[in-house]
Structure 1
Amino acid sequence: MRLSVSSYSLSRWMRENNKKLNQAIDWIANHAEGIEFSGLNLKEGEDPIRKAKAVRKRCDDKGLTIVGYCTGANLFQPDEKSQRNEIEKTKKQVEVAATLGVGNMRHDVMYGFPENWKGPKTLNTVLKRVVPAIRDIADFGQSLGVRTTLENHGFYMQAPDRVEKLIQTVNHPNYGLTIDLGNFLCVNADPVKAVATLAKYAIHAHIKDFHVKPKKQMPSTGWFATPTDIALRGAIIGHGNVDLLSCLKLLKKAGYKSWLSLEFEGMEEPTFGVAQGLIEAKRLIDLTCGARTKK
């Protein structure tokens, strides 16, 4: 396993300090071997393919491997025209991923039912609409050498049983899972049990940690409520409640040998939080794999 950093981890640092994406790339290049992009911070009207080419060159010049690309998508649309538009928009993002030279792209599936939805609000209703769209995008990704994935996030498609049901129903050789080790807590699922079930589907992985409190004890700042009875706050890797070592050992047991992208969304200053998290993540990888990680 090799360690990378998601650009998402420095999004607050960029926003609060008027930093550009290139500066985030430079910072990550000094601390890790790889980078995963959560969007490309496009300006209005900016060409995404041109930006992807420039970003790829910047990373190449810095000796930084681009290990993944993440984008949003809402494939549960109320009508066929909107559905087709969303599919085509997501395919454009696959082209961005291919331009970056990455072998995998995570796209979202849905964010819940629309407020004006009149039909049944069941998982089967969702699957009937989103599965053909996911297969269409996976086919397109396969033609460009980009594997497409679901991530366990966004509340609706986050519980381990729903994630597995979706992947099994899609049943496409070019589709799998970006497994986020911390995000299962967002639906109060045990991360270790979830990873034990889902590790076999993993194409890419995020290492993330959370502090946990009962929702009734949630402070007014820094925490967010989940749909369950707990509240969460992003944590520096190893400082929270996720048993990350057990999760990593399960990933290894399942044969996972690829990148771990560090995601940090805590209250601490982001570069401090990421740097401290990298120290602990390296230690955990060494305990799991028995080899010293670089940087």
Structure 2
Amino acid sequence: MERRDFLQTASLGAMALSFPQIPSFLKEVRMGIVVHSYWSRWNSKTDSKKYPAFTNAIQLLDHCHQLGAGGVQVIVNGWSTDFAKKVREEREKYGLYLEGSIGLPKKADDVPKFEQDVVNAREAGAQVLRTVCSSGRRYETYHSPEAFAELKKSALASLQLAEPVLRKYKVKLGIENHKDWRAPDLVNLLKQVNSEWIGVTLDFGNSMALLEDPMEVVQTLAPYTFSTHVKDMAVEEYPDGFLLSEVPMGKGILDLPKMIDLCKKHNPAGTFSLEMITRDPLEIPCLTNAYWETMSSVPGSDLARMLRTVRGHNYPGGLPRVAQLSAEEKLALEEDNIVACINYSKTKLGLV
């Protein structure tokens, strides 16, 4: 067993004790909400009386508490010490968990700001942070094997800069499979870093964009998972490949109960956070040459499997689209989708 794997396994019991506000096998587990679920409402410019904009973590905590959610995952960037304390007070008042979403340092000069963000997140009560290693989707951002190799190199360097800070403050950092890393790539990155403080924020659906089977992704990444982005997915064929959408839980094709059980098995103290993004479908152009510029090692069988999945699952009435809606209608649909998912998690997934 590698040192990192040993440390991770050994730390699970201690981890459960170190999260007084985070659900564990000794406490009830409720679905939380990722800030990106409020795709339209977060920092919205729409003047809406019914759906006023959320501009900070406290407003998000208040609203998610009203919905009966278990906690939030929210962006931590440039908080003051005073604001972090106010977030902690609000979180403790409601008994919610808090996770931060944070950027990585790209160079040594960035480490002081990263450290301050970690300190503020910890002061607010976050003991798990989420991050990403790339600025965009793999097939849209990187156009050669060399470009993607450079991402791997820079990601490792950033994590090596971040690790001493995380170790110093005993804060966990989860790297999201953010339509950039296929699951084996991400595991390889973690093994290079080899730290008990760096693991995975497991997104249940993202890796479909990279032609991975979502259940295999969960099986591969669950042993390294600190936090989650729970979602259900639907698909639809289009000439260049397929369209991919988050849809309300229970209406998509993912086996959510099995995925959640796998995560619980490997990390009983872990949280489940909803990321239901209400938007137009994403285009996954897997039948174009450009898509394959960084995917040459992916077997054709993965493409064939995904296309069979797409052709075998028609979403009734076609995938949801929002471009034709007014700003107020988008806000209303977003809220309806989030509420539907929270209710589903209570009635069908046992996250109550």
Give the match's secondary structure for 2:257: helix
- Look up the equivalent residue of 1:92 and give its one-letter code: Q
Q: Deviations over 1:102-130 (max 9, x none)?
A: 111112222269x999993353x444433
Letter in 2 for 1:283: T
1 or 2, which has the higher strand percentage?
1
Range 168-177 or range 26-35, more displaced:
26-35
TM-score (norm 2): 0.66
Separation in 2, partners of 1:166, 1:183: 18
Q: 1:186 is aligned with what amino acid?
A: A
Query: Closer, same or farther in 2 for the Cα pair 1:116/1:131, shift >3 Å?
Result: closer
Once the 2 structures are TM-superposed, how far is the Cα of residue 209 of structure 1 from its aligned partner? 1.8
| Structure 1 residues 1-295: aligned runs within 5 Å | 1-14=29-42, 15=44, 16=46, 17=48, 18-20=52-54, 21=56, 22-39=58-75, 47-61=79-93, 63-73=94-104, 75=106, 83-111=107-135, 120-123=146-149, 125-153=150-178, 155-156=179-180, 158-216=181-239, 229-267=241-279, 269-286=333-350, 293-294=351-352
Structure 1 CA distance for aligned equivalents of residues 249 and 143 of structure 2: 39
Decide whether the 8 Å contact of 1:74 with 1:111 is kept in 2.
no
Stretches of structure 1 that go unaligned for 5 or more consecutive residues are 76-82, 218-228, 287-292
Compared with structure 1, are the counterparts of its residues 211 and 97 closer, same or farther at alpha carbon in structure 2 (3 Å cutoff)? Answer: same
Cα distance between partner residues in 2 of 1:204 and 1:284: 20
- Which amino acid in structure 2 is aligned with residue 25 of structure 1? L
Q: CA deviation at 1:271?
A: 1.9
Q: Are the aligned partners of 1:188 and 1:230 in contact in 2 as well (CA < 8 Å)? A: no
Unpaired runs of 5+ residues, structure 2, are: 1-28, 280-329
**Separation in 1, partners of 2:143, 2:111:** 20
Residue 88 of structure 2 contacts residue 124 of structure 2 at CA under 8 Å; is this kept in 1? yes
Compute the displacement of 1:261 (Å). Answer: 0.6
Q: Pairwise CA RMSD of aligned residues?
A: 2.9
**Which stretches of structure 1, 4 residues or more, deviate above 6 A after TM superposition?**
115-119
**Count of residue pairs brought into register by the alignment:** 261
State the Cα deviation string for residues 3-42 of structure 1 (Å, max 9, x = none).
21123222423414342344432221022343223315x7
Q: Do the aligned residues in 1 keep the contact of 2:69 with 2:342 (CA within 8 Å)?
A: no
Could you tell which deviates more after superposition, 26-35 or 100-109?
26-35
- Alpha-carbon separation, structure 1, partners of 2:264 and 2:142: 44
Task: Write the deviation string for residues 181-233 of structure 1: whole angstroms up to 9, x where unpaired.
Answer: 1222232311101111111001111211222122438xxxxxxxxxxx32212
Distance 2:103 2:160 in 1: 16
Q: What SS class does the counterpart of residue 38 from structure 2 fall into?
A: helix
**Change in 2 beyond 3 A, CA 1:50/1:214:** farther
What one-letter code is carried by the residue in structure 2 that aligns with 1:72? G
CA contact (8 A) 1:74 1:110 kept: no
CA distance in 2, matches of 1:191, 1:116: 23
Q: Which amino acid aligns with 1:274?
A: I
Q: Decide whether the 8 Å contact of 2:33 with 2:275 is kept in 1.
A: yes
Greater mean alpha carbon deviation, residues 92-101 or residues 172-181: 92-101
